Structure 1
Amino acid sequence: MSSEISVAKNLDEVEKSSQLETYDNKLGLESLDTSDGDAALQLVGAQATMHFSEEYNRKLRRKLDLVIPTISAAVYFSQYLDKTSLNYARRVLFRSDVGIMGLPINYNLVSMAFYLGYLFWEFPTVYISQKLRLAKYLGGNIVVWGIILMLHASTSNFGAFFALRFLLGMCESCVTPCLILIISMFYKKDEQAQRISWFYIMNGLTQVFGGFIAYGISFYNGNALPPYKIIYILLGALAIIVGIVVLIWLPDSPVNASMLTKEERIAALERVRDDQGGTENKKFKKDQVIEALTDPRTWLVVLSTILTSIPNGALSNFSNIIVKSFGYTSKQTLILSTPGGVVGSAMVIFCGWYSDKKNERMIPIVFALVPTIVGAAILIGMNGSSNKGVLLFAVYIIGTFGSALSTIYAYNASNTSGHTKKVTINAMTMATFSIGNIIGTEIFQPKDAPAYIPGKTAIMVLLIVQLFISYLLRWINIRLNRKRKAQLTELKERQGWTDEDVQHERERHAFADLTDRQNIFFVYTC
């Protein structure tokens, strides 16, 4: 046992000891039922019995950072490339000589197919993942979608292509909920937003990478395979490799993380105990679903997600088309679209850092939305302008809104407790994400080309509304924290608790799989 660790007593002895019961009687409390608690209780028990130094915890966090955010970033990199592969393949794909009939409306339909599959499978996939090993389920889905993506190269039939995009959406629907849960289990609240930003940054970086790959392939003049088929084969193979990496190395939870020693697994759990967020629980709890559905904050998160996802669905599939409308060739468009990914990535990193540094979730969303609103206004106001530099600048800053979604994910991770409630809210968020993206694929209509003024106006209006929702959510959480603090002070005085007694109860409640409403020690992040 490390010399940096002081052990209060052996875990088995603690669980069998009657001292906890005597302590509860002293406080005049009813026994806390932990029979349906988190899996963490099997390893660390209801009471903290091992204490780890700050240096030990820093080394452990660095070890986690080398694996979890890195693999999560690879997953997101592959997912976003696969999801937006249609954007890169479009230049060749919708020619009549590949059998897609050459009608512009088909692009909207196959763009929508992905999100239809995503929506259809979102709720089943999060509840299946609750019953299985989380990372193993995720890795299996990645391997399957890699195969599906490669099959895109095998058909030129519109119906088959639509079906493959639908199946791709089904497989990818588990990614964000699984990664959010894994991050929330291994990291403290003031570490989560940054770690989520570290993998969400891939959305922007893949825009750069994908643009250059598509640009390079566009010079291919061989007869063996059409360029779009090469794109799908390469990206599908990459997804399969990433899926295998996830299956082998990504941990499911601190309880069974093979990358950690038993001592490190205990330390990982003790690091997050005071946050009261819990870890994993395999039992589906109907009361937690009901609480999620009756919590007003849930529906504000849902509204926030759809307001942000509609622009995402539009711009992720049509950004290249907007740039091309300025008078550039298809090849020039692929290159000129890439700086927007760099700007978006920079905003994601900044918002993640600020969110954890200041213990804020909603203010970073405001930072992300304002440049997009300004960019949309420029594109509308300067429609038809010959000043391509200003128009490109507007396109580049319009992509900053993407970090609002990553901060919403961090909000869910930091502000929800109770495993079934977590997966329910994550499912609702991602289902809404898919609905928003479905709508987004339709706001840039062919009849509005090349300026697409209605679509750009819609983006600006939606995100202005989102600003007000963000401030409302922040106000609600501040109010809940004040109310909870008053309740805890009153309980402490009524019971005659010391600070030690309060800490004792806080530790006991941490892994009891209580929801944030049920747990008086839970503190919301604003």
Structure 2
Amino acid sequence: MSGVTPKAQDDHVASIEQVERGGGVQGVQGAQHPPEDEALELINDLGHSTLLTPENNARVLRQIDLRLLPVMLGIYFLQQMDKSTLSYASVFGLIEKTHLHGLEYSWLGSVVYAAQLVSQPLVAYLLVKVPLGKFLAVSCLAWGIVLSCMPAANNFPGLLMCRMFLGVCEAGIAPAFIAVTQMWYRRREQPIRLGSWYAMNGVVNMVGSLITYGLGHINSSVFAPYQIIFLFFGLITVGFSAFILFFMPDSPLKCKFLNEEDKLIAIERLRMNQQGIESHHWKWDHVKEAALDLKSWLWFSLMFSISIPSGGISTFGALIIKNFGYDSFTTILFNIPFGAVQLVATMGGAWLATKLKVKGPILIFLCLFPIAGCVMLLQIPHTAANRGALLAGYYLISVYPGITPLVYSWSAANTAGETKKKVTTGIFIIGQSAGNIIGPNLYTTAEAPLYRRGLISNLALFCVLIVLCSMNMAYLFFLNKKHERQRVALGKSSTVIDASMDAVTHQDKQNSTLQAVAEDNVFRDLTDLANEDFVYVY
């Protein structure tokens, strides 16, 4: 590629413009393909493409980050805060004052994910057909209203119903965020962005613990402390939904903060992903491929395996600390370092994945810490003299949130085709929801303070995760070899440089130009299995 002359490059650009104005991408064999992706329609409307340089890439990326990330971080902070209110409320008398017993408290944690599981087929369809910005605003408004109603529930059936509707309203947030990340960011950029909003789990455990500490000191003759917690965060969420509606764009093609030239740069930034940008056509052949693709079920298994410990620990985490022998307020304060470890693990894992351009080995590395933490909590006697060691073990377990966003980005980077992307996300979110349903039920208040059944099952599943990551890496290696053979059979070079995992250089503008003139599969809405130019990331 480095030997291309300026004249040859200009000829290639002219060829691209001629092909795109013709209403489709023309390959070397002369075959015509209809414009499947709306990005290609925009290029056709404007009559030209553009070239990506380090300078214009950095400028547009900065604009995208400044607009998207504050909104996404705010949404995810509120979602995790709203989910965590149950754990905080349990410390401030929820169980006693609403007369919960047996597995009832556990089911309040599980029912949210049961509702999310059932909702995923509808969510997958809506994410293809509905503008993403509007979808997120309405979802936020709905769950804020539900949480604001929870203070009126004073028994198990009422709380269960509210938590169920909370799950339905929140079911599309993580899938929508994955779709947003695929739509706006290069594969190199995705781990940090996915990690940044998922890191709100850690921020919630720090900031949320301090806020709850203050709310718990409010003396009210009308509301109990746990009711104040529900109402406070519910009303904030309702207000934030208006902010989302105003600031969250639907796509790079329809946003108002980018001018027409910058929209073309946003499109060109994603060319090397080989994943397209946006299409509102639901394709049943994509659904079939997602259902039959072994990768889909490996993502499902990974999410299921990490979500069982996640669901249990997130629901019972505060009670585990309290049973080390601390009072309610001290328990809340000791939850702050838990959040700090989560934040470091999530962003540290994302940084390593970006630096090393791999995800599987980083996931295996992150599993080692919670394995050690589970062993410590199982083996160290639960006495006052061992509080420090027990807390250290608990904080080692808190590395586990760094695993989930890496699985998100691993799947996002290895799936193409608009409908297939949404269906694949739905499949592994079902696995995540199922795991979160089971997780809290492996812990029961009757097993306090040891919670042996929950901790032993969590230990086993962190080991299972290591095996699943190894299997997935082997399968992705096999698929890359298969695509190499397909390219050779079509007369192409067997080697494709995955520029989506590298920093943008001046050479990229030549690479993307040459690739577009050849058989350009980028905007044909092809699935990853159908696109021989797709390179899988380990």
Q: TM-score, normalised by structure 2?
A: 0.90
- Cα deviation for residue 224 of structure 1 reads 3.1
Q: How does 1:314-463 map to 2 (within 5 A)?
A: 314-385=312-383, 386-463=385-462
Q: Tell me which amino acid in the other structure corresponds to 2:159.
A: F
- 1:229 maps to 227
Q: Deviations over 1:274-296 (max 9, x none)?
A: 21011121111111111111111
Task: Give the match for residue 3 of structure 1.
Answer: none
Question: Higher mean Cα deviation, 118-127 or 462-471?
Answer: 118-127
SS in 1 for 2:441: coil
Partner Cα separation in structure 2 for residue 347 and residue 32 of structure 1: 48
Q: 1:338 to 1:31 in 2, by over 3 A?
A: same
**Counterpart-to-counterpart distance in 1, 2:458 and 2:140:** 31
Shift in CA distance, 16/202, structure 1 to aligned 2, threshold 3 Å: closer
Cα distance between partner residues in 2 of 1:501 and 1:329:
64
Question: CA 1:499/1:134 → structure 2, altered by over 3 Å: closer, same or farther?
Answer: closer
Pairwise CA distance, 1:16: 4.3
Match of residue 309, structure 2, among 308, 311, 316: 311
CA deviation vs aligned residue, 1:331-388 (integer Å, no higher than 9, x gap): 1111112101100110100111111222112122112211001000010111324311
| Count of residues in correspondence between the two structures | 512
Higher RCO (CA-CA < 8 Å; seq separation 6+): 2
Q: Deviations over 1:63-109 (max 9, x none)?
A: 1111212211111100000011100111334355x4x2242432112
Of 252, 268, 285, the match for 1:254: 252
- Structure 2 distance, partners of 1:507, 1:226, is 65
Aligned equivalents of 1:440, 1:450: Cα separation in 2: 17
1:278-317 → structure 2 map (5 Å cutoff):
278-317=276-315
Tell me the distance in 2 between the aligned counterparts of 1:180 and 1:350: 19
Matched, 1:82 2:90: no
Does the Cα contact within 8 Å between 2:382 and 2:390 map onto a contact in 1? no
Query: Equivalent residue for 1:121?
Result: 119
In structure 1, the gaps of 5 or more residues are 1-5
Q: Is the 8 A contact 1:416 1:422 kept in 2?
A: yes
Deviations 1:26-75 (A, max 9, x none): x3x2514224x111111124997311321011011111111212211111
Equivalent residue, structure 1, for 2:468 = 469
Matches of residues 159-198 of structure 1 in structure 2 within 5 Å?
159-198=157-196
Provide the residue aligned with 1:135 in structure 2: 133
8 Å contact kept, 1:122–1:174:
yes
Per the alignment, residue 71 of structure 1 pairs with 71
- 8 Å contact 1:361–1:411 — kept in the other structure? yes
Tell me whether 275-284 or 187-196 shows the greater mean CA deviation.
275-284
Residue in structure 1 matching 2:532, options 500, 503, 520:
520
In structure 2, relative to structure 1, the CA distance for the partners of 1:485 and 1:94 (3 Å cut) is: same
The code of the aligned residue for 2:171 comes to S
| Structure 2 unaligned blocks of 5 or more | 1-9, 495-509
Equivalent residues of 1:506, 1:521 under 8 A apart = no
Asked if structure 1 preserves the Cα contact closer than 8 Å seen for 2:94 and 2:226, the reply is no
After superposition, the Cα gap between the structure-2 partners of 1:204 and 1:19, relative to the gap in structure 1 and judged at 3 Å, is: closer
Q: Establish whether residue 509 from structure 1 lines up as the match of residue 507 from structure 2.
A: no
Counterparts in 2 of 1:266 and 1:499: CA distance versus 1, 3 Å: closer
Maintained 8 Å contact 1:351/1:367:
no
Checking the alignment, whether the CA contact within 8 Å between 1:274 and 1:506 is kept in structure 2 is no
What is the RMSD computed on CA atoms of the aligned residues? 2.5
Task: Give the aligned partner of residue 56 of structure 2.
Answer: 56
Structure 2: how far apart are the matches of 1:347 and 1:500? 35
Summarize deviations over 1:109-149 as a string: whole Å, max 9, x none. 21122112111212212212211111111111101110111
Tell me, yes or no, if the aligned pair for 1:371 and 1:400 is still in contact at 8 Å. Answer: yes
Greater mean alpha carbon deviation, residues 214-223 or residues 352-361: 214-223
- 1:485 partnered with 2:478: no
Please say if residues 204 and 340 of structure 1, whose CA atoms lie closer than 8 Å, have aligned partners that are also in contact: yes
d(CA) in 2 for partners of 1:388, 1:169: 35
Partner of 1:151: 149
Partner residue, 1:33 = 33
Give the Cα separation in 2 of the matches to 1:88 and 1:17.
60
| Residue aligned with 2:99, SS | coil
Q: In the aligned structure 2, how far is the partner of 1:130 from the partner of 1:322?
A: 41
CA distance in 2 between counterparts of 1:462 and 1:522 reads: 32
How far off is 1:18 after superposition? Answer: 10
- d(CA) in 2 for partners of 1:32, 1:338: 58
SS at match of 1:508: coil
Deviation of 1:220 after TM superposition, in Å, equals 2.0
Instruction: Give the letter for the 1:79 counterpart.
Output: Q
Bigger drift between 483-492 and 304-313 goes to 483-492
Deviations 1:430-457 (A, max 9, x none): 1111110000010012332210111101
What percent identity do the matched residue pairs reach? 28
Are the counterparts in 2 of residues 147 and 240 from structure 1 also a CA contact under 8 Å?
yes
C-alpha separation in 1, matches of 2:109 and 2:271: 43
Cα gap change, 1:328/1:271 in structure 2, threshold over 3 Å: closer, same or farther? same
Map 1:94-109; keep pairs closer than 5 Å: 94=94, 96=96, 98=97, 100-109=98-107
Alpha-carbon contact 1:492-1:502 (below 8 Å) kept = no
CA contact (8 A) 1:308 1:405 kept: yes
- Which residue is 1:214 aligned to? 212
- For 1:516, give the aligned amino acid: D
1:367 & 1:242 partners in 2: Cα distance? 37
